[in-house]
Amino acid sequence: MFRFFRLSPPLKLSRDFKILCLYQTIVALANGMMGLFLPIFLFQQFNSSIYLVIIFYLIGHFLYSLLVPFGAMMMNKIGLRRTMLIGRAMCIPFYVFLYFLHNDPLLFAVLANVVLLFFRLFYWVPYHVDFVSFTDGKHRGRQMSYLAVLGYLVGIGGPLLAGILLSQFSFSPLFIIVILINALSLIPLGKLTEAKAKFEFSYKQTFKELFKKGNRRLNLACFADGAQTMVGVMIWPIFIYQILEHEYMAVGAVTSLIIIGTILFQLVIGKYTDEYPKRKLMRIGSSFYALGWLAKAFVATAFQVFVVGAFHSLMAIILRTPFDALRYEQIGNTGSYVDEYTVLREMSINMGWVLMGLLLIVLIGLVGLQIAFLIAAGFSLLVNLL
């Protein structure tokens, strides 16, 4: 048992990775405050219609899955760092439009989705290419854990602080704070070294590669990951908001407690991801992670939200740390095609979001919201195709 928790010697981190850590820490604060409450906010603004919330997300992810190659082509013209900066800057008008959503829900929802689409197009591909460039393949599991733990440490107070603000005021001051934090994140992002990458696929070739037999396992694993992630990002927050009887403070406090329990475990799994077979860890993690999804379908009290949520978060670490490390490793092994395979990854993930959204639109009215967790359990097992 003590051997399991033995610490490894500290890693020598590059300048760019340290900057990436600082940047991620700032972003984690914004995400910690807003990520959980964004689907809840949309749920309120759309007159408690889960279908409209799903459609809001579905449209954005569908368009992104089709347009990712164009975003990568733009990266060729203006460079990775500048593309990332433009993408991250799009978060500012996104929250501005959400701030005014109550004035005209349809108009500002469309505007918010448009700038969110530009954020995704300009940001995610260069970010993942930079991550592959600035991390060491031999120690990528531990480096990913460092980033995750920094995010957890900063994110502990995020949901709680957001819950306090929402219980005392409204979403307006929360949006203002998150806008300022996103603006601050641009400073370290602009100091990253310019990584070199050139997207060489045409739009038509990109789709050929997407369905190519040799890429099938990677793309199906990413597709499944996107499908189950959609449930965690969008359905679970609304579900616990309803269980906790619309108490923002309770939602934030429970989420913060769950985060505390994951920090040490993340460091341990990051270390063992580098030392043990990643696929074996993934098989173990995905089995228990699927069990966590099944348990979420039967949650009915605040205590159950905490227990099941904590268990699921711990199992997510066992699954996601080796899964993400292996995925970056496979993309990194493609040599000069890092950005091309990153585009395929992004397309697959977002198509998974879209399929899950369509399934839920059909099934929630027939079976109930809990069906989302049962379907997510099945998809979480498919990530082992990687």
Tens-digit pLDDT profile for residues 143-169: 777 777 777 677 677 777 888 888 888
Q: Once rounded to an integer, what is the mean pLDDT over residues 22-34?
A: 87
What pLDDT is recorded for position 131?
78
User: How far apart (Å, rounded) are the C-alpha atoms in residues 64 and 73?
Assistant: 14
The pLDDT confidence band at residue 242, using thresholds 50, 70 and 90, is: confident
* Confidence check: pLDDT of 277 > 60: yes
Architecture of the domain made up of 15-191+213-385: Up-down Bundle (1.20)
User: How far apart (Å, rounded) are the C-alpha atoms in residues 178 and 28?
Assistant: 11
Q: What is the pTM of this model?
A: 0.86
Q: Using alpha carbons only, what angle is made at residue 350 by residues 345 and 352, rounded to the nearest 5 degrees?
A: 100
DSSP alpha helices (H): ranges in the chain?
15-34, 38-45, 50-78, 80-89, 91-99, 105-134, 140-155, 157-168, 171-189, 203-210, 216-230, 236-243, 248-260, 263-275, 278-296, 302-332, 338-367, 371-382
The pLDDT confidence band at residue 350, using thresholds 50, 70 and 90, is: very high
Q: Once rounded to an integer, what is the mean pLDDT over residues 120-142?
A: 79
User: How far apart (Å, rounded) are the C-alpha atoms in residues 112 and 98?
Assistant: 7
Q: Which of 200, 158, 163 is nearest to 181 (CA)?
A: 158
User: How far apart (Å, rounded) are the C-alpha atoms in residues 195 and 24?
Assistant: 18
Average pLDDT, the chain: 84
What pLDDT is recorded for position 264?
60
Q: Using alpha carbons only, what angle is made at residue 56 by residues 243 and 248, rounded to the nearest 5 degrees?
A: 30
Q: Which of 183-197, 290-304, 351-365 has the highest mean pLDDT?
A: 351-365
Q: How far is CA 75 from CA 118, 196, 329, in A?
A: 13, 10, 22
Per-domain residue ranges of the chain: 15-191+213-385
Name, in order, each residue with C-beta under 8 angstroms of 266's C-beta and a sequence gap of 6 or more: 145, 148, 149, 152, 317, 321
Task: Output b/e per residue, 145-171; b: 16+ Cβ within 10 A.
Answer: bbbbbbbbebbbbbbbbbbebbeeeeb
Q: Once rounded to an integer, what is the mean pLDDT over residues 187-202?
A: 85
User: How far apart (Å, rounded) are the C-alpha atoms in residues 116 and 88?
Assistant: 10
Name, in order, each residue with C-beta under 8 angstroms of 182's C-beta and a sequence gap of 6 or more: 27, 30, 88, 91, 92, 95
**Tens digit of pLDDT for each residue in 309-319?**
878 888 887 88
What pLDDT is recorded for position 324?
79
* Confidence check: pLDDT of 270 > 80: no
